[in-house]
């Protein structure tokens, strides 16, 4: 594994001339971008750009091949059966909404149940509430314990023949818990329930194999995995995607159009209405190249060192309350300073050049479980160092000292 500082040097934002060192600890919200991703997108705009798919000239055809090449790359990256199972979206939120509005509205009926978990981001709650309200279905929720682990013993009662779909995160964005999905998916299969996995917080940290998971839907966003914003992926098993109706209508996703009727393009294009985010897709492909070049084993090793170091320091301070103490977590710490509002903590840290996320992290039901309004979240990525964590801890200690003076 290369040294910590060498990884950091791949990211231009950390190499700017400045009197102060940027301590960026908000990668769970959106990661910084390596130079290779930025340069691939710049090159696309400067040298390769044209609209894709139906252009009968070299520039368009060449970029179409590169764009579709990224689709194949993603299929290999997540071990999909083929590239037809990969739909480009604006992000994971749109992917979940696509499934909810297309598959959900067509297959969920009155009296059916939708199973979520207490760890979910609002993006994996609100779309299903909309479906439930429209179709007369019920939302059920897998509870958690005080460590932030799912209470898997509740699955037997919650997951049954009425459960049409289980929509669940692969890793919590708010407290970092990585739930054990195997028993949930196995039980879903026995009940003929579909499974959607929100992989936004997982895919940047761990290898994803959708065939091994045996999920029906899998969503993720590019901007959390060193790629650009505005581009994401929805994986769907081919046999399910073939039966789904389009979520949006317009250009590109059609076959034949008349004023009487329309026929649709084959999958996955029939779910990609309008001009796509061409350059964003190229950038996502470069982000995957960057991750694969480093290797997940090296990423995991690096992040485990950072997390273990941070947890040991923070857990020994009686003025700090940590939320999310699962034994299996992503590399983030969610905490509050006792007697100090998270927003005040965040503002003081910002004045020290330390960027963290504060608030409910789009997980208000989870915060309600802990009876708090929000936390301070410090999330670590490949470009972070031990020095970053020392800066964070020293900053936190100075805030505690200031309030206790």
How do residues 280-315 score in pLDDT, each as one tens digit? 999 999 999 999 999 999 999 999 999 999 999 999
Q: Please report, rounded to a whole number, the percentage of residues in the chain having pLDDT higher than 70.
A: 98
Shared fold status for 4-34+295-398 and 38-292: no
pLDDT of residue 1: 39
Token pair, residue 124, equals 């994996």
Q: Which two tokens stand for residue 354?
A: 């330390």
pLDDT tens readout for residues 195-242: 999 999 999 999 999 999 999 999 999 999 999 999 999 999 999 999
Nearest-5° Cα angle at 223, 220 to 229: 110
Tell me: domain 38-292, CATH 3.30.70.141, correct? no
Which of these ranges, 9-18, 34-43, 191-200, 306-315, has the smallest mean pLDDT?
Answer: 9-18
Tokens at 252, concatenated: 């590109």
- State the pLDDT at residue 329: 97
The predicted model scores a pTM of 0.96
What pLDDT sits at residue 2? 43
* Residue closest to 5 by CA, chosen among 259, 366, 382: 382
Ranges of each domain in the chain: 4-34+295-398, 38-292
Over residues 258-272, mean pLDDT: 97
Distance (Å, rounded) from C-alpha 240 to C-alpha 255?
Answer: 20
CA 292 to chain centre: 18
Q: How far apart are CA 52 and CA 60, in angstroms?
A: 5
Average pLDDT, the chain: 96
Going 153 to 138 to 361 to 338, the CA torsion angle's sign is negative
**Residue 6 banded pLDDT, cuts 50, 70, 90:** confident
Q: What percent of the chain shows pLDDT beyond 90?
A: 95
C-alpha span between 388 and 4 (Å, rounded): 11
Mean pLDDT in residue range 317-335: 97
- Residue 27 to residue 356: CA distance in whole angstroms: 9
Q: How confident is the model at residue 175 (pLDDT cuts 50, 70, 90)?
A: very high
Which candidate in 44, 200, 215, 362 is catalytic? 362
- Containing 157, the helix (H) or strand (E) segment is helix 155-158
pLDDT for position 313: 97
End-to-end Cα distance, the chain:
44
Please confirm, yes or no, whether 397 is among the known catalytic residues. no
* pLDDT single digits (tens) 105-137: 999 999 999 999 999 999 999 999 999 999 999
Q: Cα–Cα distance between 274 and 245 in angstroms, integer?
A: 16
Q: What is the mean pLDDT of residues 272-283?
A: 97
Tokens 């190499």 identify what position? 15
**Whether residue 171 has pLDDT greater than 70:** yes
Non-local (6+) Cβ contacts of 188 within 8 A are 159, 163, 166, 194, 195
Label residue 37 exposed, middle or buried (CB < 10 Å: 0-12, 13-18, 19+).
buried
Beta pairing partners, 177: 329
What's the pLDDT tens digit per position in 76-92? 999 999 999 999 999 99
Dmax over Cα atoms in the chain, in whole Å? 75
Residue 5 is predicted with a pLDDT of: 64
Contact between 336 and 321 under an 8 Å Cβ cutoff? The reply is yes
Alpha carbon separation from 314 to 36, 254, 318, 355, 389 (Å, rounded) = 35, 55, 9, 17, 10
Residues 366, 289 contacting (CB under 8 angstroms): no
Place of tokens 């070299």: 58
Cα 181 from Cα 159, distance rounded (Å)? 13
44 touches 282 (CB < 8 A): yes
- Strand duo 113-117 + 138-142: pairing: parallel
- Cα–Cα distances (Å) from 348 to 59, 97, 178, 185, 342, in that order, read 50, 37, 30, 43, 10
| Confidence (pLDDT) at 405 | 66
CATH number of 4-34+295-398: 3.90.1150.10
Backbone angles phi, psi at 165, to 5 degrees: -150, 145
User: Alpha carbon 367 to chain centroid distance?
Assistant: 19
pLDDT above 80 (res 17): no
């Amino acid at each position: 594994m290369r040294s910590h500082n060498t990884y950091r040097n791949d990211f231009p934002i950390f190499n700017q001339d400045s009197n102060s060192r940027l301590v960026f600890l908000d990668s769970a919200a959106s990661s910084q971008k390596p130079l290779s991703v930025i340069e691939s997108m710049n090159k696309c705009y400067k040298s390769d750009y044209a609209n894709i798919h139906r252009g009968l000239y070299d520039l368009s055809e060449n970029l179409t091949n590169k764009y579709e090449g990224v689709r194949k790359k993603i299929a290999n990256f997540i071990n999909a059966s083929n590239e037809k199972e990969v739909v480009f979206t604006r992000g994971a939120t749109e992917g979940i909404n696509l499934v909810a509005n297309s598959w959900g509205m067509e297959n969920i009926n009155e009296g059916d149940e939708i199973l979520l978990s207490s760890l979910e981001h609002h993006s994996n709650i609100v779309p299903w509430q909309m479906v439930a309200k429209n179709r007369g279905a019920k939302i059920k929720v897998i509870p958690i314990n005080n460590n932030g682990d799912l209470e898997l013993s509740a699955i037997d009662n919650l997951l049954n023949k009425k459960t049409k779909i289980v929509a669940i995160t692969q890793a919590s964005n708010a407290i970092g818990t990585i739930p054990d999905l195997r028993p949930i998916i196995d039980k879903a299969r026995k009940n003929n329930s579909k499974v959607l996995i929100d992989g936004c917080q997982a895919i940047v940290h761990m290898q994803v194999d959708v065939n091994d998971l045996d999920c029906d839907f899998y969503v993720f966003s590019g901007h959390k995995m060193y790629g650009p914003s505005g581009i994401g992926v929805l994986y769907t098993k081919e046999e399910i995607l073939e039966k789904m109706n389009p979520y949006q209508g317009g250009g590109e996703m059609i076959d034949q159009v008349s004023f009487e009727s329309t026929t649709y393009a084959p999958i996955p294009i029939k779910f990609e209405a309008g001009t796509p985010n061409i350059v964003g897709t190229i950038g996502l492909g470069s982000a995957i190249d960057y991750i694969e070049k480093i290797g997940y084993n090296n990423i995991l090793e690096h992040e485990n060192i950072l997390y273990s170091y941070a947890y040991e320091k923070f857990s020994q301070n009686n003025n700090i309350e940590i939320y999310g103490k699962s034994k299996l977590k992503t590399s983030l710490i969610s905490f509050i300073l006792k007697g100090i509002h998270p927003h005040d903590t965040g503002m003081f840290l910002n004045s020290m050049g330390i960027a963290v996320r504060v608030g409910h992290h789009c997980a208000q039901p989870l915060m309600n479980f802990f009876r708090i309004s929000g936390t301070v979240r410090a999330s670590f990525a490949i470009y972070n160092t031990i020095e970053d964590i020392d800066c964070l801890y020293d900053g936190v200690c100075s805030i505690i000292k200031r309030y206790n003076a």
